[in-house]
Structure 1
């Protein structure tokens, strides 16, 4: 895996140790991970991440919470 530039972790208001972190490679691949499991990576495209965010905003994923 090439070098990854990670953004600051996104943590909920409730605190805790589980935070989501988003990074990208020099080729533009987006990568997500939980800070409690830093070696387990999910790769996606910008469109894939956009689709996920838009679905969450619409409430399409509320049943998972």
Structure 2
């Protein structure tokens, strides 16, 4: 997907497990792991918002 504007990677604990989030020219949210930059996950703005809000509420804590 050309033309994606990426944010700085989010790396916890100083390790190499980094996730980046960006968006396409039409605003579609895109995520990738920096170790696998060609594997992209796309979602909707609403889907991303729901994911972030669930993480803030601790609903994903069991995954880490």
Question: May I ask how many residue pairs the two structures share in their alignment?
Answer: 64
Q: How does 1:43-62 map to 2 (within 5 A)?
A: 43-62=42-61
C-alpha distance in 1 between matches for 2:24 and 2:31: 11
Cross-structure match for 1:7: 7
User: SS of the residue aligned with 2:37?
Assistant: coil
TM-score for both structures, normalised by structure 1: 0.91
Gaps of 5+ in 2: none
- The answer to which structure has the higher strand fraction is 2
Gaps of 5+ in 1: none
- Superposition deviation, residue 49 in structure 1: 0.7
TM-score for both structures, normalised by structure 2: 0.92
Cross-structure match for 1:34: 33
